[in-house]
Amino acid sequence: MRMLAAALAFSLIAAPALARSKPKKGPKAGGYCSKSAVGTTSTDNKGATLACRADKNGTARWTRK
């Protein structure tokens, strides 16, 4: 019983330490951007420069520069 209690206590303490956080997702080519961001530039997680532009339908999307 003590072994079970010790294993449970260790798992509760170690669980947050072992959890990995996901890297932040930034803009990616072809993804939508807000209308207020049209004309701005940003970089994606690989370092490529992206510009927010309206496509032929008027939808704002990130495009590679």
Question: Domain containing 42: what range?
Answer: 24-65
Residue 14 lies in a domain: no
pLDDT confidence of residue 12: 65
- The total domain count for the chain is 1
pLDDT confidence of residue 19: 59
Residue 48, SS3 per DSSP: coil
pLDDT confidence of residue 40: 95
Residue 53 lies in a domain: yes
Predicted model pTM? 0.60
Which mean pLDDT values do the consecutive 10-residue runs of the chain (65 residues) have?
76 62 78 92 92 92 92
Residue 11 lies in a domain: no
Token pair 């939808």 is found at 59
DSSP state at residue 34: -
Q: What does the alpha-carbon distance between residue 63 and residue 15 come to, in Å, rounded to a whole number?
A: 40
Residue 27, SS3 per DSSP: coil
Dihedral through CA 11, CA 17, CA 18, CA 22, nearest 10?
A: 140
